[in-house]
Amino acid sequence: MAEAQLFVSQDEFTCSVCLDTLTDPVTIPCGHNFCLKCLTDCWEKSQESSCPQCRHTFTTRPELNRNTLLNEVIKKLKKTALRSHPPQNYAGPGDVECDFCTGKKFRVVKSCLTCPASYCQTHLQLHNELAAWKDHKLVDPNRNLKEKLCEKHQKSLEIFCKTDDSCICTMCVVTRHKNHEMVELETEREEKQVSDV
C-alpha cells in the first residue's frame, strides 16, 4: 500500500512550555500536547492542575500517558526534516543564533529586549502567541543584547537622561536619575538624526 503524503512542519509539534519539539508527548483532556517533563514540572510548581496553554482547570489531576502515535509522527518528521530541511534557515558565520534551538541553531529573525533573548521564526511565533509576552519589545536580530540592558537592573535601556547624557532603564529613573531631564530613547535618537543633517 502506498504511503500517504502529509505536509506538516516540525513547528506544529512544539511544546508551548519549553518552545522545543515535543519530547515524550502527552495529551491532556482539553486536547493540548506537552512534553511529559514540562507538564509534570508545571503541575508540581502549582496548587492546581491547569492547561499551560488554554488555562482550563481540571478538578482532579489527569493521569499522564505518553501519546505513542504523536511520538511516532514526531520521530518520522525529525528524520525527514534532517534529510530535506533547507540549509538557508540555519545560522551561519556572522548570523545571530536562536537562543532556544537545540542541536543545529536556526538564524534569528527578532531579538527581544524584554526577555532578553533572540528567536528564530519558529520560536518567535511561539513567543508571540503567549499573552504575557505580547507587549515585549522586539528588535532586529542583535548579538549584543547585553549592551542594550542596564548593567545594574538587567532591564532594557528605554530612556535617555539628558542631564547625564546616558541611556538608562526605568528603574534608574526612580533610583539614580530623579529630577533629571529625560526623554524616550527613540525621541533622542530622532533629535540627534535631525541635528546631524
Divide the 197 residues of the chain into consecutive groups of 10 and give the mean pLDDT of each group: 51 79 90 91 87 88 89 81 57 82 84 82 81 78 76 82 89 88 85 75
Give the separation between CA 87 and CA 104, rounded to whole angstroms.
10
- Residue 1 counted as domain residue: no
Name the residue range of residue 102's domain: 88-148
Give the separation between CA 83 and CA 96, rounded to whole angstroms.
24
Grid cell, residue 58, equals 481540571
DSSP state of 95: S
- The pLDDT value recorded for residue 1 is 44
- The pLDDT value recorded for residue 85 is 46
- Specify whether 118 is located in the same domain as 171: no
- The pLDDT value recorded for residue 135 is 79
C-alpha of 187 from chain center: 28
What total number of domains does the chain contain? 3
pTM: 0.42
- The pLDDT value recorded for residue 197 is 63
Q: Look at residues 85, 109, 135 and tell me which one is the last residue of a structural domain.
A: 85
Q: Look at residues 85, 101, 120 and tell me which one is the last residue of a structural domain.
A: 85
- Residue 2 counted as domain residue: no
- Residue 139 exposure: Cα atoms within 13 Å on the Cβ side: 17
- Specify whether 92 is located in the same domain as 47: no
- The pLDDT value recorded for residue 83 is 53
